[in-house]
Each structure stands twice: as structure tokens, then as C-alpha cells.
Structure 1
Amino acid sequence: MKQIKAISVFILCSVLLAGCEREIMEWEERPEDQKVTTAELPLQLAEKIERYAPLKTYADYVVGVGLGMDLYMNDEVYRNIVNENFDEVTVGYAMKHGAMVNAQGEINFAPVDAFISATNEAGLDVYGHTLVWHANQNASYLNSLIAPTVIPGSSGANALDISGLQDGSFTGWSRNNPGDGITVVEGEGLGDNAKAIKLVAGSGAANPWDLQLATPQVPVVEGHEYEVSFYIRSDKPGKGRVSFSGFENGYPWKDWYGTGGEGAEAFETTSQWQQVKFVVNEYTGTSFGMSLDLGYIPGVTYYIDVDSFNVVDLDAEAEVVNLISNSNFDTGTLDPWTGYGNESTRTVSAEGEGYGNSGYAMVLTNPTEAELYNAQQVYTLDEPLEEGTEYTVSFYIKANIPATIQFQLQNPDYAADYSGGIQVGTNWQQVVRTITPTTADRNKLVFDFGQTATTFYIDDVVLTSGEVAAGSPPVIIEMSDEEKAEVIGGAMEHWITEMVTRYTDEVTAWDVVNEPMKEGGSLRDGNVTDPASDDFYWQKYLGKDYAVTAFKLAREHAEPSDVLFINDYNLEASMAKLDGLIDYVNYIESQGAQVDGIGTQMHVSLNTNRENIVEMFKKLAATGKLIKISELDVRLGTANPTVDQMADQAEMYEFILDSFREHVPASQQYGVTIWGISDNPKEHEFWLPDESPNLWNGDYERKHAYKGVADGLAGRDVSEDFTGELQY
């Protein structure tokens, strides 16, 4: 067969010298692993197909092609085929939201600008694909617009006593000038049901101290810096300051970075929560106090989130997370510690007998010498420790006489990891050991103290992985459905407006809404369990009218003569889906938008039901809309088709185009777009890999399908009047 192919090329080149010279110059040898092998067409058929004119010459409507923008710009053979055969091009990916919008929401027009410039030069129209779709979106950016607001908690333990706010008693707080009221209210703070201080400036307020709330005194450590922070909002634009007691200057106006301007006396407030945050170190004694002065503007109501009001010692030593709850026994009990063995006893010391002669200690007495494990004291953890993680165990200990003790990490079946013997003296000493659980079921810390007949005093027991104790947790605020709709609606408006406005002179037809329907004929709602990383369903936030808005926006910014389409797939396979789409078009127009055309993609196979194809065209024609076959290809299920399969493929292409012409009135025939150029693998990395759906083979040679499409466009067998002699 390879020999026959060589002869065929020789004969054709002898007769059609100019054309074959062009083919030879443009053809390049592909590596064997990139070739898509197909059965050779019979010589006579191959010669017939070679004599066909470019596809666009056979149609009275638009003949388009779906293509890869990079291939068009960088592959001369590919580009020449497109320029020669088609009126219109549809970019498969590069004009979509996901390709053009970056993480900041900025649109990169440069690649598409260059492409449109090249197609203009070639005399090609560009079909805009696509404005609103659920796939191929920059979903990360869009989701970031409606992500919950995470308000950080304090960076450490709160040195300010807010208990009088939490219970509403204002214990320790002073309402020096309550204006028209200073109260604690439910549900007005950050987060669900959070509490806020509500402060209302009276109608006569004119000075900052006309509405004033003073805090309790905050104890301080000399030389340390303290971070003050709280979240505040107001029902209308407001203004406030913080004044101090315990400072050399009680009114050291802070720099309210970005709120009131550097060096400003006061910060400004709005209806949105904002954080007031600053650092102080001007105190002169062992404590300081603060006053919130909010009386600048009459009639303003302020809300300060209670739990966000924090004063944090920035120089305090970090506290680690201790997995032992009753670690210093200052509760006066041993709960939840338990123990047994060798008639040992356990109790809590008198107050003042703990480490440092303060507080309490755990007292363990072993009356007679035995094995270490014969007397035990046990603390059961809330959760098992992590296998393989290094933990630190520390405690203070002393005994009446020199003695030995050990600890172990134990599981419910008494298997354990051991510290080894620890020598204990008669003066307080700190023991620090690291230990790593060898299994994931260690859930008890156990002291073994049965070896020496003595009494042990133990205090400040710490079991930690080294995790540092945090301050207050963050507050997470979800947007309301109304807020999400407003934000996403704004993003869609920006995208459509920018795209249509920029290309209003170059793009005269747009795929405005793509694939809105589910297979059963209902509208997609975006409630999917496992969306792809680039899936974003506009309709999930904007509802059924998202397409109404999209068409209105496109029409507003397009030229009056531009054609606006809605487009979907599997319409030939599901009459229910087709009916649902037509109903949706009717709904869109009932809401005041205009839909000019309906696109049916038609990604079909040889087994696609032909009666359904005819019925689809009839139903589409009945809408009175322009009809476009928008993404036509015929798959064969193989990358290596036989001669018979290629003939069947050609016949299916021809049947579809014949049916389109027969059942859709000429006035409604917008055109057809063939989805892809060739069977070359580089065109099928993401779409129909290991397939052969197109009109040119992997070496950019016309297939039998080329003849089927040309004959379907022409409405006749173009080659029937070819003579036996080749013409040139």
C-alpha cells in the first residue's frame, strides 16, 4: 500500500505541479511515535478528493472551524489549511475566562489581540467562544471573591479582662459618659450570634468624650510592648479615638495607619467591620487603662465585637499546648488523675507546698519497696498521641529521701514506651525528657514510683508536642447569598463588557451562554459534588436569570448586527434536553433579553441515531432562530480507521449537512463549524485522544471525510461530473 501511495503522489505531482509542489513544501516528516496511521484510500478516490476545491467554496452559509490558537499562530501547514478552507474560526480555549483572566481578575488580551490581527489579515471572521460557561473558568479567582472573610484572632493571651462584657455586667468597665446608651447586645458582633458593645452617640454629642467607655486596668511588665486591637463598625460614617490612663501623656494620638491619616487624632468607621490595632509601651507604672472616645459625631451607633477586644503582651514567653488539664493541681483535687498498687496513696498537698512554695502539689506515697511499676499514678488523655511524633514531658519533683521514679506512655492494653529510671533528690528539681510513641494508641501518661519507700511531691506536669498555644481563634464570616450574587454578578458584567467592547469590530457573533442544560432537560444549578478545578457555575449564585443578564449585557455592548447564540451538546441524543433548551430560550426572551441563534454542537459517532438528528433540526427550525452546527465532529473510536470506517465517517458528515439544509430553512442557516482540522495527536491532547474524527489525517492529507463534508455543503456529489482526465 505504501508503494501505491508513492505512485499516486508521483502521478498527481506530474499533472498538478504547482499544487503538489506546495504540498511537498508544507509536508514534514513526523516521528514514528507521533504518526496516526490509517488505511490508504483507493487511488481513484484519493485523486478525486485531491481535485476538490476548498470547503468554503461549496456553501451558501458560514463554514467555520474550531482550532487551537497556538497551532494557528505557530504551525504554517495548519494555518494555511485554515485560511484556505474556512470563513470563520472558533478558538477552542484561548478566548475563555480561564485562559484570559489572572488571579487578580485582570484580563490578558495580548494573545487574542495578536490572533485576531492574524485572522483579519487572512480574511477570516472570529466567532466569540465563549462568554458564560461553567467550565474553563478561573474558578480560583471567582471563588476568592466570595470566600469567607477570615478575621485573625489575637496573637496571644488576652491581658484585658473582658468578662464584664461577656456577661453584660460591665464589671470593671466604666461607662463614664453613656451618651444615648452603652450596652452589650447579642448577634451584632463578628460571626454567628456574637456579642458586641453597642455605643450610641447622643444628638448633642460634639466632643470625643461625649460618648466614653473605659476599660479595666491592664497589668503590664516593665519593658514589654502591648498590642491593643478590636473590631468596630458603625451604622453611618463615624469617628473615634483611644485615650489612656497610666501614661505620661494620657492622649498620645496614635498613627491610625490608613484610617485617619498618619498622626491623626482619630480613626474613622464605616458600616464594614475594620480592625483598630496598635502597639503601646508608654505606660509609667504597673498597669494602664484605656477609654474609647466615640462622641465626635452625633447620632452615630457603634458596634465593637466583644471577643475581638484584646491586649496582648508581645514580649511574653510563648506558652506551649499542654495535654494535661490538671497539671498544677491548683484545683485542690487530683481529678482526673487516678492510681493504684502496693497500697500506695495519693492526695493533694496543703496550699503553699507546691513548687516555689506556692500553690499545690500532687503527693504520692509508696509504703514499701517493690518494683517500679508496682505503684502507679495515671493520667488518661482525651485523644491518643501521634505515632512517631516527639513529645516532651516535664515536671517538678522532690522526695523525702533520694529515690527513683519513671514515667511511661501506655496504651489500653498496657503496652508502653518508657522514660527509664529518673533519680529524685530531696529538693525541688525539674525533669525534662523527650519520648516518641511507637504506636498510634498511646493514650495514658503513667508515673511508676513503687521502687523506693518514700513520699514524692510532683507539680507543673507538662506533656506537649511543642505546639505553641495560640491566642484567640480566627473569626470566619460568610457572605450572604445576596452579597455573593452582587459580587459574582459584578464579575460577570466586567468580563462580558470588557470582551464584547474590545472586540466589537472584529467579532460579529458570540457564544454568549454555553451548555446551560442538564441531560434530562432541566437547567444546571451548579450544585455538584466534585467540580473540576476550573469549574465555576455562575447560575449557582445568580440563579435562573444569569443567562438573561448575560444576553442583555452582550446586546448592550455588541453591534446591533452581531449575532448572539446559546449553545449546547447532545441535543441530537436527548429530545428532553433539546426541549429544555428551547424552553429556556423562550424564558430568557420573556424576561426582556434577545437570543438570536441556537448552536447545536454535534459531537457524534457512527452510531448516533439519524432519526433523532432529523427531529432535532426540525425542532430547532421551528424556533425561528438562526441555527448553527457549532462543533461538528464524527468519532470512529480508533486512531487507525479502516477504509470502510473512513467511508462511513464521510457518509455521516454528509448526512448531517444534508439534513441541516433540508430541514432548516435557508434564512435560518447560520452555518457549520467543523471541530478541529486533523487527526494529528497534537490536536487531540485534551479532546478525543487516540481518535480520528477530523477531515485531514495525521499528516494533513485530506480524508474521505473531506469529500463527505464538501458534498454535504454543496448538496450534491461534487465529483460526479469529474472526467477521467485530471484537470489543471
Structure 2
Amino acid sequence: MNRKNNMVWGTLVAALLASCVDTEIADVTVAKPESIAQYEYLNDYAPLKSYIDRAANPDFKLGLALAANEFIEGGLVFRLAEANFDEVTAGNAMKYASCVNDKGEMDFETVDKFVTAAQAAGITIYGHTLAWHAQQNNKYLNSLIKDKEMDVDPNDKVDIEDYVVDYSKDAYNFWNSIPEGTTIGVNTEEGCLEIVNPAPTEQNYLVQYFTGDNLPTIEGQDYKLKMMIKGSAKGTLNVGVGPWSGRADGSFSFDTEWKEYEFSFKAVADGGHVMTQSGLFAGTIQIKHVKITHAESPAVEVEQEIREKTYEDGPFPFYVMDGCAPPVINGCIHFVPDGAWRQFFILPGGENKLEEGNYVLYLDIKSDKDASDVQLSMQNGWGADNQQIKVSVPIKAGNQIVKLDFPNVDGGDYDVILIPQESDATLDLRSVKVCKVTKMNSIPLTPEEKKEALTQAMNNWIEGMMKATGGYVT
């Protein structure tokens, strides 16, 4: 109680003292910031568009280029445009690359909002060129004119594995929804996924589980789902392949012996999972593996040399991140171990503009001993979204040519970086060679075929933009 009284008295004293403070404010003059003062003359002017002699120039429009999103927000940019200009042009929002994704799908949501905002403000819109040489989605357009696979007898085609889960060595950590009493997990003794359902449920979907996830499937392409299955009795396993938004559905009628079953399907969407349902089956179902494959013509892979770099005697020719450049001796870059983590640009960007595809690199290198902690990285820029592929370099003592595989390169301008890490081996790098791996089971499209494909894409784009803008854009 005394502590509370002390707190109250303290508050009252503070209030009394505050009431005795002189409340007069001193006469202080503050200079107006120069950044504001230098533009005050603008207050003497009317909106810019009011200075146009409309009688003498009835068709003249004063226009402004701006960011569409800032205009749509209705803030300062919108108010300035509305007050001072007759017409606006979007910075990038109405250009092809801003509206068309890598699959050729068009999104005009921003365009629609931009047009609506301009109409409400009574401002006209001047559009960009509908077809020009820049700011295209080149990845999509190039996919339309890429080489096509040669026609061969379907019986001569081979299955290529795109995805594999092998429950003889892989853990089960996928999503599942099962009722009480039902179990799902890996049987390590038999090397399989095992689902035990003691009694049938009212609906098949009441026992459902992923047997594969994060699939690499691509919408519209043909695949096979392969599963090796055995049951404690004959039964049916329902399957669906794809994301929650849409799957290709099928089923397998299994028995009590191990057998690999196949389900051919066309992917209805990119990626997704293998959904499996078995609620109506009472007993045990075992699954050895789950595979996704696609068929393609057998092909011979040919390595086409893109670039080879050899080194002349003299100083290290490229940028080094830590500032400690190795010497160049007898036409080789000489890497001497010093116990520090270092990385060296042995082939810098600007010289390695690579197309999308598969590549191999060859290092002509000498080492004074075996080394397992050397790495090579191919890196497209330094942002979080840029591709970086890093592989271990199998170094043996002596002179050697080391081949390194770099599959699924996105395409772009790549740095090739050697990272000796903390290796205690002395290395002499004589050359680096970059080769693109090309399959010879494809043939280029004819000029007429390319023209037809690109003309169709252009027509789709122009029609889509015209519908999105509803005739309001000139």
C-alpha cells in the first residue's frame, strides 16, 4: 500500500512542477529549405495543359509517360497526370514481355486497371508499338521455333526417367490423410512403402496419400506413371498425377505378386504430385517404386565447342574477388594452396553467352596430388534469382583432362569460377573448353514453319491487347 501511495504522490508532484513551467515560445526564424524554395515559382502557373491554344491546335495532346502501377494507385502520380496532361503512356506494363509469360499465357490485369483509371480521370492512353524488336518474351517465342524431333517408329522410342522414388532406399515424408487405425510408412525389411488399412472406408479418398511430389512434368506433354505394386489380396489403386488444381486420373488393378504397372497420361498442369487413394481396400498394399517417364527418339549426343580459353604468360587476366591473383606460368594459371577459401574467374562473363540447354566443360589441368575439395561453378549474374551450378572437380595427381557436366542451363551470360577451397594441392590450369551438348534426333523448322508459328503468336498478342483495352487506346 505504501508503494502505491508513493507512486501517486510522485505523479502529483510532477504534474505541479509541469504547471509552473513558462509556456511562452521563443521567436525563432527558420529558413525555408532551398529544395522547396527554388520551385515556389511553379505556384504562379496554371496546369500545364491549360496553356495549349485549343482553338489553333484542336488535335494537340500533352502526354506523359509514367509507371502504370503508380498511376493505378491513385496517389501523387495520378493527381499530377490528371491535372496537367491530356494523355498518358504506360512505362512497360503494356509491352509484350510484361504481359506474356514463358508459356505464352497472357495476363492483362494491370492493363485493364490502367485503362479503367484513365477512363475515370478523362485521360486518353497512347499505347506502345504492338510488335517490335525489343522487350519480347524470347524464351517463349524461341520455344515456338526450336528444332523438332524427327519422326521415327514409336516402337523405336525409349523411355527417359524424369522422376524416381525408390522406397528400398528413400524415406517416406510426403503428405497423407488417413483415418485412425490405418498406417503408412517404409517397410525396411522388404524395401517398400507399406499401407495397412484394417477395414474399408466409406469412400476411397478417405485413405489418400502422396507417393511422389515436386514432379518435373510440363503441361501438355505425354508421360507414363510406373509403379511396382503388390497387395495382400487383389485390389484397385486409384492414382492422379498433377497439382491440386488439376490432375490426370487413372488406376491400377494389382494382385498378390510384384508387378510394375503403367499409366499413360498427358500432364494437365505443370508439376504437382502423385496422389494415391485406397480407402475401399482392406489389407496391405506395398509399393517398391514410383517413376515418371517420357518417350523420345533415340539420339546421338554431339558436343559442339562454344569457346576454349588458354592462358598466356603474365599476370592473371581476370577479376579476383579477394584480390589475391595467382601467377600465370608457362601458359598455365598456377594455383598454390595457402589454406584460405578463394575463388577465381577462369572464364569471365561477357565471353560466355550461352543458350538454354546442356553443356560440358573440359579442364586441361595438372595437380601435384589427388584433391577432392576443388569445385567449379557456372554462375549467371549475382542476384538471388540467377542460376548457379556448382560441381565437384575429380582431381587426380598428374596431367589430365577433366570433363564436367552442366545440364539444364537456363541461358544467359555466365562466369566460370574455380574454387580450390581449402585444398592443399598445387594446380596448373592450361585451358578451359565449353561445349554445348546437342541431340541429333531433331531437325530445324523451315522458314515457312517459323513464320507461321511467330505470326500466330503475334496475332494472339494483338487480339488479346485489343480486347483488354476495349478500343480506348490509340
Normalising by structure 1, we get a TM-score of 0.23
Structure possessing the higher radius of gyration over alpha carbons:
1
Normalising by structure 2, we get a TM-score of 0.34
Flag the structure with higher strand content. Answer: 2
Flag the structure with higher helix content. Answer: 1
